[in-house]
A = this chain, B = another copy of it.
Amino acid sequence: MTLDALPAHQGGAENLARLLARALLTGHWQPGDVFPKELDIGQHFSVSRNQVRNALASLSAAGLLERTAGRGTQVRAMSEWHLLDPLMSEWMTGLMNLDPQLVRAIYAFRFSAEPLVAGLAAQAASADDIARLETAFEGMQRTAGQPEARHQHIEHDVAFHDVIYQATHNLVWRQMGHLLRPSIMALVHRSQHDIKTLDDSLARHGHVLKAIQAGDVAAAEAAAREVLRRTAIDLGIVPDTLSDGR
């Protein structure tokens, strides 16, 4: 893989890092491949070696690359990636063509964890949390079925899930919510087609809201599971086969 296939960049080491990271996340390089050397990258994008080094340092910190003095820079396998690094999360935002294997893994995680999280939220949610959850849900209702408001609808949907993670009032789960944001966004983007599907999805979200309002742990878990089943159907994933290859 060469640099020529990549889009131009708009200046700034962060932009360069994002650009290269996205190329890696979408599989433009294979694990074990040698990555272009600093000077070549700098020349190709017309940036200083400093910028390149800063960008590569970020990618290296995220486990996407392995750099060793004298040898060069190598691309690491997906199992080495630091999926929970906030940088990754940022780079993944808006990426619609993520590696399918990665999408499945993240969905599988949510499918196992989110019911539990909803249950914790039902226990720990404050009045503020519930108000935020209601706002998000009303936003989803208001924008449902309006093609011109699709973007807003997705925003509300993602916010709904995020609030649930926040409502656990646990530092670790909260981080998790932030990190999953882009993945959830990507999943939501892929699902939700016709009106019928959308209504069903909306109803299932409503059940989660009601359960959390009532503080009913078991109901919240069950309702969250139903929301994710809906997502799975939309994505064409069979829930029985969620674990990664052995």
How distant is the Cα of A93 from the Cα of B94 in the complex, in angstroms?
34
**Which one of A105-113, A134-142, A156-164, A184-192 contacts B?**
A105-113
Known contacts A61-B61, A86-B85, A175-B84; A112/B105 CB under 8 A: no
How distant is the Cα of A240 from the Cα of B109 in the complex, in angstroms?
26
For A109, give the chain B residue with the smallest CB separation. Answer: B172
For A171, give the chain B residue with the smallest CB separation. Answer: B105
Interface residues of A in 100-136 (CB under 8 A from B): 102, 105-106, 108-109, 112-113, 116, 120, 123-124, 126
A196 to chain B, nearest CB (A): 31
How distant is the Cα of A102 from the Cα of B171 in the complex, in angstroms?
8
Q: How many residues of A contact B (CB 8 A)?
A: 40
A residues neighboring B (CB under 8 Å)? 54, 57-58, 61, 63, 78-79, 82-87, 102, 105-106, 108-109, 112-113, 116, 120, 123-124, 126, 168-176, 179, 242-246
Q: A61-B61, A82-B86 are in contact. List 4 more A-B contacts (CB 8 A).
A: A85-B86, A105-B172, A124-B246, A168-B243
